[in-house]
């Protein structure tokens, strides 16, 4: 029923505006090596999620045809910075790089690694510092969390030095993250709490007290309880505080009944699901989907200073 309704509302938009520049993916990973080979990925057809196969080049071509104007790719570890900078130079004006070190990777990183990140940040094409933040889902040891906090502070300082926004990865750690961000409020140059999955109270602190945006993606299309809490958060903040994202190849929507679990598990999430995310936000906000696409694109340009 839900997917049939999406079909009626989304597909005419795709057909009418195919080739247009009306959506931006504020968080996706496209430089991974497995994109060099044929891989399964999630697409949309007649309002339903479907699985197709392709390589990175064909996926990027399809993204452009569907009206994805550009996307932001953040680093996940120190080594990935070089890969995404290389890809962004090949897709200049379409893929914008953010450099940094993910909180789950930084526990094995050194001061020397931070100096490398700092050098990457000097590249003129870099639009943000990230992913950075705190992730307590896996790292429960005290020394690991302390290392995450150290790297978080380093990257906040780096973003301030370079006058760049932050791309935040905060998982099961909002209390500590907000404490650190509030302490450094004077150093912030905007940014986004990506893959946001918190409630309305937390959302308002990020947006109203710290002036940050929330990245909304596949989590909003899930049936879990976390999705209900996220709906309330989306409803509670202004449209000017929301960005569309996918976190591809991760954070997939709820698996449709017509796709076998193993196929869905192997498929990569992509920017091609953005119309479904925009549609769900439009339902929550009770505004046209065109407005969601337009406003979130403008927000992305503003946050990352895109021309």
Digit-coded pLDDT (tens) for 6-45: 444 444 444 344 444 489 999 999 999 989 999 999 999 9
Show the tokens assigned to 252. 């997939």
Q: Give the per-residue pLDDT at 138.
A: 85
Q: For residue 98, give its domain range.
A: 2-304
CATH code of the domain containing 41: 3.20.20.140
Rg over CA atoms, the chain: 18
pLDDT of amino acid 140: 78
Note the pLDDT of residue 226. 74
Place of tokens 């996918």: 246
The count of domains in the chain is 1
Contact indicator for 41, 63 with CB cutoff of 8 Å = no
How far apart CA 228 and CA 206 sit, in angstroms, is 19
Q: What is the pLDDT of residue 15?
A: 38
Q: Which residues of the chain have pLDDT under 50?
A: 1-21
Identify the CA nearest to 230 among candidates 273, 198, 195.
198
Name the DSSP letter for residue 268: B
- pLDDT the model gives residue 137: 93
Handedness of CA 50, 51, 53, 55 (dihedral sign): positive
Structure tokens at 73: 């790719």
Of residues 300, 302, 276, the one with CA closest to residue 25: 300
Output the pTM of the full model.
Answer: 0.92
pLDDT of residue 14: 47
3-state secondary structure (DSSP) of residue 256: coil
């Amino acid at each position: 029923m839900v997917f049939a309704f999406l079909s009626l509302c989304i597909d005419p938009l795709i057909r009418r505006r195919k080739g247009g520049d009306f959506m931006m993916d504020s968080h996706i990973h496209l430089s991974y090596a497995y994109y060099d080979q044929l891989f399964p990925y999630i697409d949309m057809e007649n309002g339903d999620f479907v699985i197709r196969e392709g390589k990175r080049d064909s996926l990027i071509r399809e993204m452009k045809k569907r009206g994805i104007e550009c996307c932001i790719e953040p680093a996940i570890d120190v080594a990935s910075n070089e890969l995404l900078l290389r890809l962004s130079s090949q897709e200049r004006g379409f893929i914008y790089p953010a450099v940094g070190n993910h909180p789950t990777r930084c526990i094995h990183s050194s001061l020397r690694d931070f100096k490398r990140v700092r050098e990457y940040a000097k590249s003129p094409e870099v639009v943000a510092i990230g992913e950075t933040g705190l992730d307590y889902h896996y790292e429960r040891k005290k020394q690991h969390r302390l290392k995450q906090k150290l790297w978080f502070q380093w990257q906040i300082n780096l973003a301030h030095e370079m006058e760049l926004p932050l791309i935040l990865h905060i998982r099961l750690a909002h209390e500590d993250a907000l404490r650190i961000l509030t302490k450094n409020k004077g150093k912030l140059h905007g940014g986004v709490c990506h893959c946001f999955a918190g409630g309305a109270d937390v959302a308002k602190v990020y947006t109203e007290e710290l002036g940050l945006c929330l990245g909304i993606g596949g989590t909003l299309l899930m049936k879990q309880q976390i999705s209900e809490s996220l709906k309330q958060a989306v409803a509670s903040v202004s449209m000017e505080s929301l960005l569309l994202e996918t976190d591809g190849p991760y954070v997939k929507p709820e698996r449709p009944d017509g796709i076998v679990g193993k196929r869905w598990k192997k498929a990569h999430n992509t920017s091609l699901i953005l119309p479904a995310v925009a549609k769900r936000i439009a339902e929550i906000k009770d505004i046209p989907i065109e407005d969601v696409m337009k406003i979130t694109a403008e927000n992305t340009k503003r946050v990352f200073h895109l021309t």
